[in-house]
Amino acid sequence: FSFMAATPISSLFPLIEHCQQQRHVYLDSAATSQKPQQVIEAVGNFYRRDNANVHRAAYTLAVKATGEYEHSRALCAAFLSAPRTEEVIFTSGTTEAFNLLANTLPYAGDGWQAGDEVILSQLEHHANIVPWQIVADKLGLVIRVIDVDPHGDLDLDHFQQLLNANTRLVSVSHVSNTLGTVNPIETICRLAHANGSLVAVDGAQAVAHCAVDVTKLDCDFYCFSGHKMYGPTGVGVLWGRYQLLDQLPPWQGGGEMIERVSFDHTSYNQLPFRLEAGTPNISGVIGLASAIAFINQQDRGQIAEHEQRLMQSAKSQAAAIPGVRIIGQPQQQSSLFSFVVDDCHPSDIATLLDEQGVFVRSGHHCCQPLMQHLGLEGTVRVSFATYNNDDDVERFIVALTKACDLL
């Protein structure tokens, strides 16, 4: 009596049901996941029944919208096992969360000095590289990069060698969006903290697939996007320890981030509002709350097992096709993998799969430095979510076999 037999979870996702009717297979959840009916309804119902701006007006409708918006913040805090609700800052996504951090953290307190260092890793997505490069150029910071070993795991010895008295921050992904590597965040935090450095974590590829407890991880900042975890696009979270967030200067001005404004002097609101300028993505935040409720309704252990089984099955069957080379074999791998086919461009493979109704991603996956490190132009990436099933794996393998025969 298997998980899939008991609950055809795909029936909760209108677009996945539609895909199944069309004999299409969606294997690009790492780019964005599909949305369950309840999230689609939460967004629609907000506009149908509850739409008003938040935090400003005193009339009933606005109070209700504000209540829902702030309720979502509390759900996000609980979702991350964060100590305080005010530690959740809503952003437009992981990218904006890192831009917020890079535009404020180096200026907090006495500020970082020229020669201060930020450690990133070879695995990082551009969203956790470029914001640091921009501020590094302004302040004369040095960016150091943790090596990745041939399996796709971070080289922790190299990490320890990089840590030094100038290391202000270590900013690394929880799960690699290209190789699926699950990084040892607890160990990284322990080593970084022993060195007096802070740790920021890119959780974009983690939150949909494993329970995240920022208290247990002991990180200082954690970022994620709603749309990769069954929620809407245009909404995400920066979580940070209260004492650290409280030291961040304002970064965007306007809206609820002020306490009092005059032309002589402006004072700023308290957390979390000080770091959220302008009218936020209210419907997105409410949709995110619904996505969290959806995840909380599932047995997370069972989902992780299900995704793991599909990923391992697809990976080993793909590896058995002549010419296919799986990229990376990390110790712990989340629900995605990358591969290349000898003498074929990844986009040609993706096109041949698309022609057979199988939707996968090809390219550099916003990880150009990793591609350079691997000596590859790109890969084909296959990623799974809770709504995928054995039939999807089988159709992918049949399509890939045919594509490889054709090329």
Give the SS3 label for residue 12. helix
- Kindly give the pairing relationship between strand 336-341 and strand 379-383: antiparallel
Does 204 engage in binding with ligand PMP (CB under 6 A)?
yes
CB 179 within 8 A of CB 330: yes
Closest to 384 (Cα-Cα) out of 122, 175, 78: 175
Q: What is the DSSP letter of 225?
A: E
Q: Minimum distance from CB of 93 to ligand PMP (Å)? A: 3
How far apart CA 173 and CA 228 sit, in angstroms, is 15
Closest to 188 (Cα-Cα) out of 173, 210, 203: 173
User: 66 or 362, CB closer to ligand PMP?
Assistant: 362
Does 127 engage in binding with ligand PMP (CB under 6 A)?
yes
Does 181 engage in binding with ligand PMP (CB under 6 A)?
no
Does 95 engage in binding with ligand PMP (CB under 6 A)?
yes
Does 156 engage in binding with ligand PMP (CB under 6 A)?
no
User: 228 or 395, CB closer to ligand PMP?
Assistant: 228
- Using CB under 6 A, count the residues that bind ligand PMP: 13
Catalytic one of 76, 344, 366, 367 = 366
Q: Minimum distance from CB of 304 to ligand PMP (Å)? A: 18
Does 177 engage in binding with ligand PMP (CB under 6 A)?
yes
Question: How many CB atoms within 10 Å of residue 181?
Answer: 26
Does 362 engage in binding with ligand PMP (CB under 6 A)?
no
Q: Minimum distance from CB of 49 to ligand PMP (Å)? A: 28
Name the helix (H) or strand (E) containing 275. none
Give residue 111's identity as a one-letter amino acid code.
Answer: G
Per CB under 6 A, which of residues 281..320 are in contact with ligand PMP? none
How far apart CA 208 and CA 198 sit, in angstroms, is 25
Give residue 169's identity as a one-letter amino acid code.
Answer: L
How far apart CA 43 and CA 219 sit, in angstroms, is 31
Does 225 engage in binding with ligand PMP (CB under 6 A)?
yes
Q: What angle do CA 124, 210, 213 make, to 5 degrees?
A: 90
User: 227 or 241, CB closer to ligand PMP?
Assistant: 227
Stretch in the footprint of ligand PMP (CB under 6 A) among 74-82, 88-96, 261-269, 350-358: 88-96
Does 366 engage in binding with ligand PMP (CB under 6 A)?
yes
How far apart CA 12 and CA 24 sit, in angstroms, is 17
Does 202 engage in binding with ligand PMP (CB under 6 A)?
yes
Strand partners, 181: 333
Stretch in the footprint of ligand PMP (CB under 6 A) among 73-81, 150-158, 200-208, 370-378: 200-208
Stretch in the footprint of ligand PMP (CB under 6 A) among 93-101, 138-146, 344-352, 380-388: 93-101
Stretch in the footprint of ligand PMP (CB under 6 A) among 79-87, 105-113, 202-210, 299-307: 202-210
Is-catalytic flag, 367? Answer: no
Does 205 engage in binding with ligand PMP (CB under 6 A)?
yes
Name the helix (H) or strand (E) containing 326. strand 324-327
User: 200 or 358, CB closer to ligand PMP?
Assistant: 200
Q: Minimum distance from CB of 224 to ligand PMP (Å)? A: 8
Look up residue 87 and give its two tokens.
């530690």
How far apart CA 260 and CA 12 sit, in angstroms, is 47
User: 199 or 404, CB closer to ligand PMP?
Assistant: 199
Strand order across the 379-383 sheet:
324-327, 336-341, 379-383, 361-363
Q: Minimum distance from CB of 94 to ligand PMP (Å)? A: 4
CB 145 within 8 A of CB 122: yes
* 272 prior amide bond cis, ω within 30: yes
Q: Minimum distance from CB of 175 to ligand PMP (Å)? A: 7
Look up residue 44 and give its two tokens.
């629609």
Judged by CB under 6 A, the residue of 43, 99, 101, 125 near ligand PMP is 125
Positions marked catalytic: 366
The contact set with ligand PMP (CB under 6 A) reads 93-95, 125, 127, 173, 177, 202, 204-205, 225, 227, 366
